[in-house]
């Protein structure tokens, strides 16, 4: 089972960007954790990160035939993008939304997720563990096809 892990804008700055909000785990450390969790679950993961909405849409559109599911943290595009959920719906792959922070307890503009309705489930506020929960969900979901 091949999973595409997509991370949106500014996640490449984890550990540096507002550590009081997003934690001190660096992006490289996050990827290492996800790799380890995927290995435990017998999943193959590939990563894509971009600060550009169109690049994220392109990665989603290129996923069918290569990946069985998508784990996505759209970051700020969660609250602004219509193109990303449209792409998720268009490709028809099982998708899970994940956020390091609990967006429902953040600023009012962050409480709206345009991507959540295009995903099967959202994990928010669990820090890096949300990615693990997302992988576990996709494993169960794909095993029960």
Q: Give the residue numbers marked as catalytic.
A: 22, 99
- Helix/strand/coil for 60: helix
- Residue 74, both tokens: 């759209």
Q: How many CA atoms lie within 13 A of 99 on its CB side?
A: 24
Question: What DSSP character marks residue 93?
Answer: -
CA distance 106 to 93: 29
């Amino acid at each position: 089972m091949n999973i595409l892990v997509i991370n949106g804008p500014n996640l490449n700055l984890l550990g540096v960007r507002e550590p009081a909000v997003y934690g001190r785990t660096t992006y490289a450390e996050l990827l290492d954790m996800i790799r380890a969790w995927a290995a435990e679950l017998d999943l193959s993961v590939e990563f894509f990160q971009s600060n550009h909405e169109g690049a994220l849409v392109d990665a989603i559109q290129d996923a069918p035939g290569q990946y069985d599911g998508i784990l996505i943290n759209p970051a700020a595009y969660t609250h602004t993008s219509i193109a990303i959920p449209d792409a998720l719906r268009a490709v028809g792959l099982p998708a899970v939304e994940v956020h390091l922070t609990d967006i429902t307890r953040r600023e009012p503009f962050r409480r709206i997720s345009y991507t959540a309705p295009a995903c099967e489930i959202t994990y928010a506020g669990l820090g890096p563990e949300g990615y693990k929960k997302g992988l576990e969900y996709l494993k169960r979901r794909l095993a029960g096809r």
